[in-house]
Amino acid sequence: MKKDGCRVKICGISCLEDRELVHKAGADYFGVIIDVPYSPRTLGIEAAADLLKNAPLPGVALVFQQNKERIKQIVEYCQPQLVQFLNYMPLECLCELKRSFPTIGWWQSLFLPAAGAVSQADQKKLQQQIRDLAGAGADAVILDTVVKNSGGVRFGGTGQTSDWELARSLVENSPLPVFLAGGINPSNVKNALEIVHPDGIDLCSGVEAVPGRKDPKKLFELLGEIRKWEKENTERMRYI
């Protein structure tokens, strides 16, 4: 855990009511999914702008397989404070976007298979990707779960956890802040923090009533569990 505690991003915000709820609960960021066909929480650029402009907490625009010009259009029109790539953005494109918008935070999602399906080669590749991203100007990485099924490949928003031991190793060796995503909810978040020790937690379906709408009880319970773990961890560190 870093000195300023565990950051919390609540993703898949689709209405002003939920944006205000997330702010009231004490989250650090909210995420808006823009033009992602496979997500039931996706919004068009107009609706996304209504949520991201002049928001009371930092907003993250999530994009998938968009070209540089479209990303620039989204940034200029929606005015997010951060952009998160769900697909792996070529490093040269990341460098160019960083130069064009130096005040925007640029986050990259990296996807881990489910627990038990990761080889040593995969771990080395992921560690190198994180180092390369740091060199290209990325500000953080998000470790999420990729799921393959009969409908194809689903990147994020799966509600399934990944290999947390692998995630812990990546966090320990990362030159960038690392957020943990994938299958996190109020009942397992403390365990995730205890195992992985990420810089932040990122979740969506774990605090929903239905896809696209947040459940106030689950949301406040989640934040309460995180802050409680922070307090316990801080007290433990005093005696080490």
Going by pLDDT thresholds of 50, 70 and 90, the confidence category of residue 235 is low
Residues in the chain, total: 240
- Tens of pLDDT, residues 189-218: 999 999 999 999 999 999 999 999 999 999
User: What's the whole-number mean pLDDT along residues 66-88?
Assistant: 97
Q: What are phi and psi of 74, to 5 degrees?
A: -60, -45
User: What's the whole-number mean pLDDT along residues 5-28?
Assistant: 97
The residue among 57, 5, 12, 37 whose CA lies nearest residue 157 is 12
Q: What are phi and psi of 83, to 5 degrees?
A: -125, 135
Residue 147: pLDDT over 70: no
CA distance 183 to 194: 15
CB-count burial class (<10 Å; 0-12, 13-18, 19+) for 131? middle
Q: What is the dihedral of CA 132, 136, 141, 144, to 10 degrees?
A: -60
Q: Which of 24-38, 123-137, 159-173 has the lowest mean pLDDT?
A: 159-173
- Tens of pLDDT, residues 89-118: 999 999 999 999 999 999 999 988 766 655
CA distance 11 to 29: 8
Q: Give me the domains of the chain, ranges plus CATH numbers.
A: 7-237 (3.20.20.70)
What kind and span of H or E run contains 224? helix 216-237
Residue 240: pLDDT over 50: no
Going by pLDDT thresholds of 50, 70 and 90, the confidence category of residue 161 is confident
